[in-house]
Amino acid sequence: MRYSNIIHQLMVPAPTLSYPIYIGKRLQDIYKDFFNKYPRVGLVTNDTLFNLYKIPILDLRADVPQVFYVIVNDGEKYKNIHVLTQIYKQFTSKKMDRDGLIAAFGGGVIGDLAGFASATYMRGVDYVQIPTTLLAMVDSSVGGKTAINLAEGKNMVGAFHQPQAVFSDLDFLDTLPVREFNAGIMEAMKYGLIMSRSFYDYICKNKENIKKRSKDTVAYIIHQSCRFKSEIVAQDEKEKGMRAILNFGHTIGHALESYTDYQFYLHGEAVALGTLAMVSYGVDRGLLDRKFLHEFFDILTFFQLPPSIPADFKIDRILAHLSYDKKKRRGKNEWVTLKQIGVSEWGQSIDYKQIEKVLGRLQKNG
């Protein structure tokens, strides 16, 4: 069946499962057809999205009567074992079997929660991603990473579990708050910084169209981001090597999130600060031009992403949260750094004194 409302389509050739990504407008007919392949479908979402899209969500039942809804509280702080247990109980009460389907309808938090639930419920059931945020469309819905947080750190408990499909409907971005939209742009810029100078330049040159949420421009950014990630996942599905470059800016970003108990920054905002720190570190090493640091600072400011750490944040406590990084090996953090714009290295060692110095400069920016 052909759908005229698909703008882009690509395949993720993951070793354990190849699956399609659909990028377009009004994709309901596509995922309804997909749902009808299953005898039971559990759609997991949060209360904010359910209230925002209550009519279309409930209308699903007209065409897919086997759908039931699992609604959790909105927010990163609810991505925990207690909420996960509530989701399991909903599945059992609705008699979800191993031949059912779980649909993650939401941003990165819902994608991680529903994905991990599908990876572990009855030792694994199928699931699909229906991302509703730009950040989820360009990054977290693709690649099969699922997880929940612990108090000590982000995504400390998780599993690799690839979705059966990803449906990125651009219409959801029309209601996305500016702050969340901008946070998603940071994850797209990440791909340019680590893999493609030309893609990074494209984002900078088209920043006004992006800010206006031009469907064609945003669809292209989503497509390219997914293409870059698909190439990496095809080579390193379970992050034994080069997939680690996707963590650029995330080591410090995750520490900032856990330091603030997941209630101060959106994920993309924390990654923006972590990325700014690593660009600053690259300048210190003589690998990046100071002019680029100023240009990157300016693009963060344009998209209203934080360029500084608040003066009352305790740098020593942020550094302590680095010790909870789940990607540590042999007791040490492994950092992703830039050799140049578009070329990255992973598994790098950095002295904490250097990071403390960089974070101190970020605090002075404020």
Residues marked active site are found at: 123, 145, 187, 229, 239, 243, 247, 250, 254, 267
- Residue 340, both tokens: 């140049």
Distance CA 67, CA 127 (A): 13
Q: Are strands 335-340 and 18-24 parallel, antiparallel or unpaired?
A: unpaired
Which of 23, 46, 21, 168 shows the shortest CA–CA distance to 106?
46
CA 164 to chain centre: 18
Q: What is the DSSP letter of 347?
A: E
Q: Are strands 6-13 and 18-24 parallel, antiparallel or unpaired?
A: antiparallel
SS3 for 146-181 is EEEEECCEEEEEEEECCCCCEEEEHHHHHHCCHHHH
Look up residue 136 and give its amino acid. A
Distance CA 89, CA 70 (A): 10
- Residue 361, both tokens: 């400069």
Which of 50, 237, 47 shows the shortest CA–CA distance to 159?
237
Q: Where are the alpha helices (DSSP H) in 196-305?
A: 197-205, 207-211, 215-235, 250-259, 267-284, 290-302
Distance CA 168, CA 176 (A): 14
Distance CA 60, CA 53 (A): 11
Q: How many residues does the chain have?
A: 366
Please, what's the b/e burial string for 14-27 (b: 16 or more CB within 10 A of its CB; e: otherwise)?
beeeebbbbbbeeb
Distance CA 110, CA 104 (A): 6
Distance CA 220, CA 188 (A): 11
